[in-house]
Amino acid sequence: MSSRPVPLIPPGLRAFLVRVPLLVPIVRFLRRGPLGRDRNLLITLIVLTVVLAGLAARVSMEWFSPALMIPITLVGGLQLRLRSLAKLLCAVAAALLYVGIARGVGHIGPGLLVTFGFTTVLAALMARTRGKLGVQGLRGDAMLLELRDRLKNQSELPSLPKDWDSRVVLKQAGGSSFGGDFLVSMREGDTVELALVDVSGKGVDAGTRALMLSGTFGGLLGSVDDFLPACNTYLHRQREAEGFVTAVHVRLNLVTGEYVITSAGHPPVVKFEAGTGTWRVSPAKGVVLGIVPDLHCEPDRGTLRKGEALMLYTDGLIEQPGRDIDAGLDRLLGEAERLLPSGFRDGARNLVTSMSAGHNDDCALILIWRP
C-alpha cells in the first residue's frame, strides 16, 4: 500500500483555520507537507517529547507538565505504525525518567504513571488494529462510514411510476449501522425485482457476513431467471457454514401489477386485498438457503390492483422469546390494520416501532402498493 500523506487536521477545522490569513501557510504545510509520512511524523513527535521534557526539567513543570506527553502518545497511536510507535514510547519513557531525575521522583506521581500506562496500551491497540487493516490514521473509520452510506443507498428501492409507491424501514439491533437484514433491488423497464434477506445473528455480529452477501446477491438479482436457486447454489458451495440465510424474492410488473413471490425459509409475504379490506398470507414456501444442493421453491403468483399492497418483513418483527411465531404473525396483521387510517407510508415506521418494542433484534419492513 502506498504511503500517501494522511491529513492531520479534520476537514471542518481546516475550513475554519484557512480563514485566518496568518495560519494559511501552517495549514498548507500540515496538509501537504511531509508530516503525514510515518518517519517524519515520528521524528516530529520525538522532538516535541524531548523539548517538552527539557522545558519541564529546566523551566517549569506547571507550564510544561509531563502530562502533555499523553496527547503526543495518542497521536502516535492514531497515525504511526506499530514499530514506529514503539520508538516513540521509548522516547516518552526516557523523557519521563529524565524529568523524574531532574525534578525528583516525587514530581512524577503514581497517578500520572498509571495514566501513561493506560494511554500506552490504548495507543498500541489502535496501532495494531490499523496495522492489520493496512490503513493509516482514521482512514479505517472513513471506510466504514463510506460503506454504511453505500449500504443505505442500496437499501432504497428504485424509482417507481407515479401510480406506485413504496416504503422501506430498516432497524438494526443496538442502534448499529450494520446488521443481518438487507435489501437488494433493481428495475429494468417495467419490471422491478427486490429481495429481502435475513442473515442469522444480529447487529454487528451478522453485519460482516451480510456485507459480503449483499454484493453477491445484488449481482445475481436481475442477472439470472431463478434468483433464489442461484443464491442457494452459491451458499451451498461455501466450505464453512456460518449460520442460515433466509430470503424472499418478488418480481413485479409495474404495468399489469402481476407479481411472482418465491421464498426460502423466510416469513411469508402478506398482501392487502382492497376488496375484502384484509391481509392475506402468501403460500410461497421454500427451504433455508444453503442447506440442500437443489432448491425447490413453491411460487405464489397474483396481481396487485389499485388500493392493494405487498408487505415483506423479517423475523425480527414477529419472533419474541417464549412466544410462538404464528402468534407473532397474527399480532403483526392486527397491528397492520392501523396502517389503513393514516396510509401505508406514514404507518410503516410506527408498525416497526410497535412490533420491535421489548426486544433487541434486527428488523426490516418493505411495503409496495398502488395508491
Which residue segment(s) compose the domain that 132 sits in? Answer: 11-137
In a domain, 225, yes or no: yes
In a domain, 158, yes or no: yes
Q: pLDDT digit string (tens) for 32-69?
A: 555 557 788 888 889 998 888 888 888 877 788 888 88
Does one domain contain both 189 and 329? yes
Separation CA 230–CA 226 (nearest Å)? 6
| Residue where a domain stops, chosen among 137, 153, 177 | 137
Mean pLDDT across the stretch 363-370? 88
Does one domain contain both 113 and 158? no
Separation CA 3–CA 284 (nearest Å)? 53
In this prediction, residue 236 carries a pLDDT of 85
Q: pLDDT digit string (tens) for 280-302?
A: 999 998 899 988 888 888 899 99
In a domain, 5, yes or no: no
Does one domain contain both 151 and 133? no
| Residue where a domain stops, chosen among 93, 115, 137 | 137
Could you please report the per-residue DSSP string of 197-228? EEESS-HHHHHHHHHHHHHHHHHHTTTSSSHH
Does one domain contain both 62 and 208? no
In this prediction, residue 42 carries a pLDDT of 86
Does one domain contain both 263 and 340? yes
Overall number of domains in the chain? 2
Which residue, 40, 41, 39, 69, is CA-closest to 53?
A: 69
Q: What is the mean pLDDT of the chain?
A: 79
In this prediction, residue 5 carries a pLDDT of 45
Residue 8 or 196, more confident: 196
Does one domain contain both 154 and 247? yes
For helices 325-336 and 344-356, the axis angle rounded to 10 degrees is: 150
In a domain, 1, yes or no: no
In this prediction, residue 290 carries a pLDDT of 85
In a domain, 132, yes or no: yes
Does one domain contain both 28 and 100? yes
Does one domain contain both 220 and 360? yes
CATH number of 176's domain: 3.60.40.10
For residue 181 the three cell numbers come to 437484514
Residue 21 is given by DSSP the state: G
In a domain, 290, yes or no: yes
In this prediction, residue 283 carries a pLDDT of 92
Does one domain contain both 163 and 114? no
Candidate ranges 10-19, 35-44, 220-229; pick with highest mean pLDDT: 220-229
In a domain, 76, yes or no: yes
In a domain, 4, yes or no: no
On the question of pLDDT at 262 being above 90, the answer is yes
Does one domain contain both 184 and 290? yes
Which residue, 94, 99, 111, 92, is CA-closest to 61?
A: 99
Residue type, 295: L
Could you please report the per-residue DSSP string of 159-175? P--TT-EEEEEEE-GGG
| Residue where a domain stops, chosen among 137, 155, 181 | 137
Residue with grid cell 462510514, as numbered in its chain: 145
Does one domain contain both 83 and 151? no
Q: pLDDT digit string (tens) for 191-214?
A: 999 999 988 766 566 667 777 788
Task: Report the largest interatomic distance among the alpha carbons of the chain, rounded to a whole angstrom.
Answer: 90
Does one domain contain both 32 and 168? no
